[in-house]
Each structure stands twice: as C-alpha cells, then as structure tokens.
Structure 1
Amino acid sequence: MPEVPSPVAGDPAPDFTLPDTHGTPTQLADLRGEAVLVFFFPFAFSGTCTSELGEIQESLDEFEAAGVRILAVSTDPVFALKAWQESEGFDVDLLSDFWPHGAAARAYGVFDDASGHALRGSFLVDADGIVRWSVVNRRGQRRDLDSHVRALAEV
C-alpha cells in the first residue's frame, strides 16, 4: 500500500509535471491562480474508471462554473490515454504518470505498489496550491462523484 500519507485539507498540494495526451508537460505549480481537481484513477479503458470519468464529463459545466480545472491522472502511457480520450470523447486533461512510474501518485500517497497503479484519489486544490478537500478510496471501491460536485463550495 502507499508509503506516503495523502495530503488532506490545509496541506500544500505536492507539485508534479506530467505529459498530457499530446506529450505536452503540465505542471501543477504553473496552474496557480486557478483551482484544480487532481483526479487519480487506476486504468484507462476499465469499466469503473470509464464510468467515473464519464460522470465527471457530465458534470463538467459545474466544475467550469466554479473555475475548477480537472487533471485526471493515471499510470497509463500517453498513447493509451490518448486512445481512451478519443474513444470516449473526454474533454478533461488526461495526464500520464507512467515514468518515473507513479511518481505523482506516490507523492499523493495513492500509489499501490502491489498492483503498480494509482488508487482512486481526488484532491481539490485551491488557487494558492492548498488542498481544500480530498478523498481516497480502497482498491476496488468506486468514488461518489456527487461528493466532488458538493466539494466545489470549498474553493
């Protein structure tokens, strides 16, 4: 299980730089001034992850109205995320934590060494880079996406 504790409300959000589906680096620190939902998920193309991202996609207007950008992160390679994004029509930023494998997930305390992927962890980061809300679920446990929308009041 994770070696590092996950950040909680009031903690600074660990910085990371990860490539998006076009290979363009995205650095969390560069997004200061806007709120961000860092949304870790285990695998592209899996049923639960596709369903969760689909629900986020359906609620995208609410996130945008609250000024929250979504960064969905997995340990999948860039090419797998790009194919998944194209097949599902996701409009959120998908970031690859493939190499060094799971470095961002480890920094957030959501990397599962036994399986080599991220757990389902969500971290709502305010414009100053401070975690305002978070949830981390056990392996195999789906997130309550309504709680994500309710958490928008924290930023």
Structure 2
Amino acid sequence: MTSPLVGTEAPDFTLTDQHGRRVSLSDHRGNAVLLVFVPFAFSDVCTNELVDLRDAPDLAEGRDLEVVVVSCDSIYTLKAWADAHHYTPPLLSDFWPHGEASRAYGVFNDTKGLATRGTFLIDASGTVAWSVVNSTGEARDVDDYRVAIADLK
C-alpha cells in the first residue's frame, strides 16, 4: 500500500537516538533519507528487517542517502538491540510523546501502540518520493528499496 504522503513535504520531527542524541529529519536536508518505521526492535520480523538493512551498505553507497529507523521502543531498548546486533545507523525512539512521528506519517496503530511497517523515501529537498506500508507481521523486501532508490532522481 502506498501512502498519501507521496508528493508532499515530509513531516519533520525531532526524536532521540539510541545514544541519547536529538535527531531531526530536517538535519538530513540536502540528502535523501530512507525512513523506516518498525513496530518493535526485538520482534523476529523487525530484527530480520534491521539486520537486512545493516547488511545492505549498497543502499547508500555512492549516493547522498541516509537510512533512519524509527520505533516506538524506548532509547534503552534501541541501544540494547543496536549493541546486540552491531547496528550503527540511527535508531530513533518515538516513545514519548508516544507515536508522535509515526502518527505524522500515518503509520501509528492506536490499538496496539506501535508503528506499522511504513517506509518512506524522502528526496534531498524533503519531498516524499516513494513509500510502502506493510501490515505489522509482513516484512519488507530490501530489493524494493533498491529499486525505489535507483528511480530517485
């Protein structure tokens, strides 16, 4: 399912990463951003997706592209996951106000209190160029990211 945000300015947010640093989406202006929302870092599907991202350096290689992951987990959970899986890109906590960034992108599940599996490719000017939203248990394919990134002009 594609998001209605495609073609519009990406909603900005400021969240805390796994190291306690404040990170804003607007900090990345001038570079493309692959913004990946995950429900919970330690779930099997999320772990597999994040490991796939970690093991796909070609996504950003030779491009002005950054991968940013957002979860409703606390920064402590995200730090523990990153340490356990040797994950160094930013893992941003949308824990409090709970799901605020996820809501802005239309991927927050109010009933379960988590972000659904939404991915947004944002171009260097801050416009959502592509997106895919999967159900909670349905993994995304890194190859789909490769195609969307290659199509980004």
| Shorter-chain TM band | over 0.9
Counterpart of 1:63, as a letter, is A
* 2:123 counterpart of 1:112: no
Q: Which residue of 72, 86, 110 maps to 2:83? A: 86
Distance of 2:61 and 2:99 partners within structure 1: 28
Structure 1 equivalent of residue 40 of structure 2: 43
List aligned pairs for 1:1-155, cutoff 5 A: 6-153=3-150, 154-155=152-153
Computed over aligned residues only, the root mean square deviation of the Cα atoms, in angstroms, reads 1.4
C-alpha separation between the residues in 1 aligned to 2:60 and 2:100? Answer: 26
Q: What SS does the aligned partner of 2:60 have?
A: helix
In 2, Cα distance between equivalents of 1:108 and 1:14: 7
Do the aligned residues in 2 keep the contact of 1:42 with 1:74 (CA within 8 Å)? yes
Tell me the TM-score normalised to structure 2 length: 0.93
State the Cα distance separating 1:149 from its structure 2 match. Answer: 1.2
Q: What CA deviation, in whole Å up to 9, does each residue of 1:65-115 have, x standing for no partner?
A: 222101100000001000100000112210000000000000000000110
Structure 1 vs Structure 2: percent identity of aligned residues? 50
TM-superposed deviation, 1:117: 0.3
Find the residue that maps to 1:135 and give its secondary structure.
strand
Deviations 1:97-137 (A, max 9, x none): 00000000000000001100000000000111001110001
Q: Aligned-pair distance for 1:139?
A: 2.4
Check conservation: 2:32, 2:124, Cα contact below 8 A: yes
Number of equivalences: 151
Q: Distance in 2 between matches of 1:58 and 1:67?
A: 18
Q: Letter of the aligned partner of 2:15 in structure 1?
A: L
Runs (5+) with no aligned partner, structure 1: none
Q: Is the 8 A contact 2:7 2:128 kept in 1?
A: yes
Alpha-carbon shift at residue 6 of structure 1 (Å): 4.0
Read off the aligned partner of 1:80 and give its amino acid letter.
T
Amino acid at match of 1:126: D
